[in-house]
Every structure is written in structure tokens, then in C-alpha cells.
Amino acid sequence: MLRILLAFLIPVTVLVGYGCGPGSNGSSSNVQLQAANSKQIFSNAIAEFKVSVYYELGADPYVGPIGLTTNQTWDITKNSYQSLFQNHTGRVVTVPMTLAQMTQFPSQNRSTWNNDDLLKLARQYAPALISGQTANVSVFMLKGTYEGNTNILGIQITGSPYAFVFKDMVTSAGGDSVSQRYVEQASIVHEIGHAVGLVNNGVPMVTPHEDSVHVHHTTNSNCVMYWAVESKSNILSSVGNMILGNQLNLFGPESLQDGRSFHP
């Protein structure tokens, strides 16, 4: 299944990866693989949840302090997943904080990307989902668009431990330096959330909170897994309270409960 972050459009769930928007190849095998991935990620045998970041030349992710606070931009991703795995005793969440801790790759000279292109790139650079006691999820920052659609901010490919964010679409969402950081981080946290299986996509719900219209999204509008976070026209308003509160954990209580309770 493919989940795509949409700008201006109401998201549509698709298969091949998980994104919210157009996509194809919604096979049951991808859904089963996603469920298997979730079980491995949330297993008590995992001691480290590691986020690796790869960025195309010219698509550098935001790093450094958030405004005048002492918080670092990537503290948002780190704190969100530390909160999610809070009840997984002894688990460490590792997230890069500087460009030096991330991997730059050459310009791909693409104005558009499709599913095959994205998977080929990810498999070239990213580690396997499980390495010993480490669960790996990889984020790719890219130039261009997904299949020419300028409404899409990012996608996650179902059954794979990859999240893709399109830098040009992030910057086109507008806002000041602080807002831009929250737009990008919210997109990253959201897509990783799909990769680990949140909102009935591999991780069982403790209490029902899946949006029946926007599947695998929560009904809680104050959670990063809410569908409107995927809409470029709505994302700034969706993360407004998070910005005002200098919020580092972007998950709502329902998603946190699901993650903390899942010990397959």
C-alpha cells in the first residue's frame, strides 16, 4: 500500500507502499508484509529503533535549532518515537541531528518519481529492516514530485521500511523558518508512522480511532497521524498548535497507546 502526503487534495489510500493519494498494486502480499514488519519493529527483542536519513544534493533536510529554542529540528522525530516506544523497556531511539550524520547522494536529475524509481533508490542505500537487535527505518529527501503531482508532500511504500519526502513540495507549503521545520518534521513523523504500522496498519488499535473515510489515519485532529497533515493546504493549520506549544512529541494519545501496548 502506498501512503502519500497530499497537498490540496483529500488523500486516498493506495497500495504498494503506504501513502495517502494515488498509487497502484494494492496486493494482499504487501499488506501481509507490512503486518510482519510491524511485528518485528515492536518486538521486545529489538533494542534500538534507528532512523537513517539520505538526501539528494539540493534537497537538504532542515537541521539545527527550532527558532530561538534549544530544541533541535530532529528532536521532533526522536521525541515522537521515544514517546511511542516508551513501554518497550530499554529501547533506544537513534535519530541523526546534523547533515554530517546523514548521507548525501548525487542529484538524480528527476522531475518526477514513480514507485519503481523510489524502491530502486532506497534499496541502493538503505539497510535491511532488521540488523541484529536494531530495527531500521530510512527517510529519503528528494527533489521533484511524485508522478508529477505537485500536491504530494511525501509517501511511504507499504511493506517496506522507507519514507520519502519531496523537499520542493515542503518549501512550497510556505510559512516561516519554524513553520517549515514543523511541516517537514510532521511529514517525516507521519510517513514513518505508516512504516511502523500505526492506525490499524499492522499495529492493532487499543480503542477504535481509525477514520472510516481516510483509512489508516486517526480521527484525532491533534495527532500527526490525522489525514489533514497530508494536505499542503491544511498542514500549516494542522501543526499550528504544535508550533505554538514548541511540541516535540507529535502523536496523540490513541496512537501512543497503540504503540506502547503492542508487544508481539
Looking at every residue in the chain, the average pLDDT score rounds to: 89
**17: pLDDT confidence band, cut at 50, 70 and 90?**
very low
CA distance 94 to 58: 25
Per-residue pLDDT of 28-44, as tens digits, reads: 788 999 999 999 999 99
Per-residue pLDDT of 246-257, as tens digits, reads: 999 999 999 999
Q: Give the C-alpha distances (Å, rounded to integers) separating 95 from 188, 207, 258.
A: 12, 29, 22
DSSP annotation of 163 reads: E
**In angstroms, how far is the first alpha carbon of the chain from the final one?**
22
CA distance 235 to 254: 20
Three-state secondary structure call for residue 248: coil
Per-residue pLDDT of 154-182, as tens digits, reads: 999 889 999 999 999 999 999 999 999 99
Give yes or no for residue 2 having a pLDDT over 70.
no
**Nearest Cα to Cα of residue 83 among 183, 204, 201, 224:** 224
Q: Which three cell numbers stand for residue 153?
A: 508532500
Is the model's pTM score more than 0.85? yes
pLDDT of residue 166: 95
Per-residue pLDDT of 66-110, as tens digits, reads: 999 999 999 999 999 999 999 999 999 999 999 999 999 999 999
Return the residue matching grid coordinates 541523526: 96
Per-residue pLDDT of 123-134, as tens digits, reads: 999 999 999 999
Amino acid identity, residue 87?
N
DSSP string, 198-240: TTTSSSPPSS--B-SSSTTSBS-TTSTTBGGGG-TTTHHHHTH
**Nearest Cα to Cα of residue 62 among 93, 96, 94, 92:** 96
Return the residue matching grid coordinates 511541516: 183
Number of H helices, E strands in the chain: 8, 10
Return the residue matching grid coordinates 487499543: 206
Q: Give the C-alpha distances (Å, rounded to integers) separating 6 from 14, 102, 109, 173, 207.
A: 12, 26, 23, 11, 27
CA distance 220 to 198: 13
Compute the average pLDDT of residues 221-247. Answer: 87
